[in-house]
Structures are given as structure tokens and as C-alpha cells.
Amino acid sequence: MAVLSALSVSGCAFHRQGGDDTAVIKAGPWGKVYRGGYVEVASIRGIDPQWRLHSEVEVSPGNVSALFYVYLCQGDRNHCFSVAEAPITFRAEPGRAYRARAREEVNGSNRFTVWVENETTGQTVGQGQTIEKSLF
């Protein structure tokens, strides 16, 4: 029972908003089952992640320079590979949550549009210049 309680408590942290002196950057899935994947936080302000979870990161408010990796998955999340990188700069406000989004420009093109939006309002706060990786 103690294990379940610990998991329940830790699970709550995955859906948090920023606090009075922090903001939260979230990433996650994009696309459909047959042609989709996920976005991952690769670095914040040029510092490689020291955290284990790359889908939600708490940051200090202010100007944020983030690097996101875009993964393409074939069938399930165990068969994914990185197809693009997107550096994005935006201003994070305290108490806010931001979500990284990705969309393939043309199905099968491996060129992606990546952006960050305010999770509450849906307003785009940062647009990425996508760097495409060769799949071979």
C-alpha cells in the first residue's frame, strides 16, 4: 500500500502549474498512431538536462531558451527515433504552464513545425526554427 501512495503522490506532480516563482514547460505526443511521436525537452538555457523526466520541467521565470527534440515513432513508443531539433526562445511568466507542440509540415516529409504555447490560453509564445535530421 505504501508503494501505491508514493506513486499517487508522485503522479500529481505530472500535472502541475508553475508556482509563485516558477513556470512549467511540458512536452508530449504529436500526430496520430500511424504517423506520430512525441516532443522531448532536450535542454533549457543551454544546460543539458539533469532531470530524468523530459516531458515536464520546472523553470525560473524570464527569458527561456529551450531545445526540443522531435521523435517519430513506428507503432509504439518503444520504436522511436529523433528526427528533428527545434530551438525556441520565449518569455515564461511565473505561475504559468507552457506546452511544446509539433506537427509534420507535410505527411512523410520529416520536416516539422515546433512551437510553444501557453497551456491555459493556447496562445503561441514561441516558434521554433526546425533543424531536420537525416533518417539514414
The bridge status of strand 124-127 relative to strand 97-104 is: unpaired
More confident: 126 or 128: 126
Neighbour order of strands in the sheet with 97-104? 56-59, 23-26, 97-104, 112-118, 124-127
Among 27, 37, 39, 26, which Cα is nearest to 107's?
A: 37
pLDDT digits (tens, 9 = 90+) for 65-122: 999 988 888 776 678 888 888 999 999 999 999 999 998 877 777 778 899 999 999 9
CA distance 97 to 134: 32
Q: For the chain, give every domain's residue range.
A: 18-128
**What type of residue sits at position 8?**
S
Proportion of the chain above pLDDT 70, given as a percent: 73
User: pTM here?
Assistant: 0.77
Residue 134, classed as helix, strand or coil, is: coil
**What type of residue sits at position 11?**
G
Q: Span 21-29, mean pLDDT? A: 89
